[in-house]
């Protein structure tokens, strides 16, 4: 027969084990819930036939994929990009598709603006959309080429453009539209497309990685303001992203961990409404992020260096 001391020790061990395992089990369940049981709330941001979603970087890639999904849900669209011809093609593609629920989502506007230019008149931008019922802002524009030179060998003009494109443009656009989003008498939404480069920097991507890390902290701070301090109706999600097939041709094929931009757009829509600020729309990206910390910084960094070198060879 076990003694009282042995029973007490067994109970304590069970309690400690439960305290350790339960949070992990809950995290695992919450993770699986996003991709199995969760139902998107994005359609709830269509408040009238005049509700618009503004999507930056919408001429191709993830932005185009998200725009197609939003149109299917009944949103009117403002498509932003620097290439008017590409934007017009996406506009025609959207207008050629069936209307969203209740026949909504058939007006598409185009906003041609180089997001890498520093001298944007933001007051004029605010006036341009002040009479439009924007209920969803998608900060998607961004990107960088595969780099072969270290940071100090890249021109200041080039790295400044990267910072402007990936950090300052969404920063300023959100600053411009946030008062309008907050003033609505119904819930509004800001989606910001991130990059794992902000957490695990690829080699020679110092400017890009820093920009994405900045963007994640920016969304975090805004979420605290809107949710806990101002208690506004503005909802924020940071869509953390790894590799997605894009139009640049650097990534040449899809895989379980490399979705097409259309597949990623569909997954991003499904993730809206989860009880997390930062969410991985693509399940494989979330699994990668969960596994990498177990490998340690040294191995993770070596894996990243090799991956970028392999991509550079394929260009």
Question: Quick one: average pLDDT of 293-309?
Answer: 75
Residue-wise pLDDT tens digits, 150-159: 899 999 999 9
Region 233-253: mean pLDDT is 79
CB 64 within 8 A of CB 87: no
Q: Which residues of 32-59 are buried (b: 16+ CB within 10 A; e: fewer)?
A: eebeeebebebbebbeeeebbbbbbbbb
3: Cβ–Cβ under 8 A, 6 or more apart, which residues?
none
Taken in order 174, 54, 129, 134, is the CA torsion positive or negative?
negative
Question: From the candidates 26, 35, 158, 208, which is the catalytic residue?
Answer: 208
pLDDT over 60 (residue 218): yes
- For 280, the token pair is 């991985």
5, pLDDT greater than 80: no
Identify the pLDDT of residue 26: 47
Residue 29 predicted with pLDDT over 60? no
Return d(Cα 50, Cα 291) in angstroms, integer. 44
Q: Indicate whether 247 pLDDT > 50.
A: yes
The pair of structure tokens assigned to 294 is: 């177990």
Helix (H, G, I), strand (E, B) or coil at 85: helix
**Structural domain 37-314, CATH architecture:** 3-Layer(aba) Sandwich (3.40)
The predicted structure's pLDDT at residue 174: 98
Q: Residue 238 pLDDT > 80, yes or no?
A: yes
Mean pLDDT along residues 235-239: 97
Among candidate residues 77, 159, 79, the one with its CA nearest the CA of residue 113: 79
Residue whose entry in the numeric block shows the structure tokens 């029973």: 7
Q: Is the pLDDT of residue 148 over 90?
A: no
How many residues can be counted in the chain?
Answer: 315
212 pLDDT tier (thresholds 50, 70, 90): very high
Tell me the H-state helices in 122-238. 122-129, 156-163, 169-183, 206-224
pLDDT tens sequence across 57-84: 999 999 999 999 999 999 999 999 999 9
Residue 31 parent element (H or E): helix 4-36
Q: Coil, strand or helix: which one is 315?
A: coil
Say whether pTM exceeds 0.75: yes
What's the confidence (pLDDT) of residue 31?
Answer: 62
Flag the least confident range among 141-145, 158-162, 176-180.
Answer: 141-145
Q: Identify each DSSP E strand in 82-194 by its residue range.
A: 108-112, 134-139, 188-193
208 classed as catalytic: yes
What percent of the chain stands above pLDDT 70?
Answer: 82
pLDDT at 256: 78
């Amino acid at each position: 027969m076990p003694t009282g001391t042995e029973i007490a020790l067994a109970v304590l061990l069970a309690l400690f084990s439960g305290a350790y395992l339960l949070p992990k089990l809950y995290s695992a369940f919450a993770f699986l819930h996003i991709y199995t049981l969760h139902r998107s709330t994005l359609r709830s941001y269509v408040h009238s036939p005049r509700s618009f979603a503004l999507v930056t970087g919408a001429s191709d890639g993830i932005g185009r994929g998200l725009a197609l999904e939003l149109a299917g849900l009944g949103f009117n669209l403002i498509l932003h990009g620097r290439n008017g011809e590409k934007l017009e093609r996406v506009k025609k593609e959207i207008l050629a598709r069936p209307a969203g629920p209740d026949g909504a989502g058939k007006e598409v506007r185009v906003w041609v603006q180089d997001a890498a230019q520093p001298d944007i008149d933001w007051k004029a931008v605010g006036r341009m959309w002040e009479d439009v019922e924007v209920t969803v802002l998608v900060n998607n524009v961004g990107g960088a080429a595969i780099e072969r030179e270290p940071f100090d060998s890249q021109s200041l003009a080039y790295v400044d453009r990267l910072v402007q494109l990936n950090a300052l443009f969404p920063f300023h656009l959100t600053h411009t539209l946030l008062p309008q989003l907050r003033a609505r008498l119904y819930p509004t939404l800001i989606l910001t497309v991130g990059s794992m480069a902000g957490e695990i920097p690829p080699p020679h991507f110092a400017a890009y990685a820093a920009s994405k890390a900045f963007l994640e902290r920016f969304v975090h701070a805004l979420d605290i303001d809107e949710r806990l301090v101002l208690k506004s109706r503005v909802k924020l999600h940071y869509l953390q992203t790894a590799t997605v097939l894009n139009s640049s041709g650097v990534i040449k094929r899809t895989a379980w961990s490399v979705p097409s931009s259309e597949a990623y757009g569909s997954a991003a829509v499904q993730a809206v409404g989860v009880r997390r600020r930062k969410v991985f729309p693509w399940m494989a990206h979330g699994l990668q992020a969960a596994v990498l910390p177990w490998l340690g910084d040294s191995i993770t960094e070596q894996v990243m260096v090799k991956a970028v070198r392999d991509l550079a060879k394929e260009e």
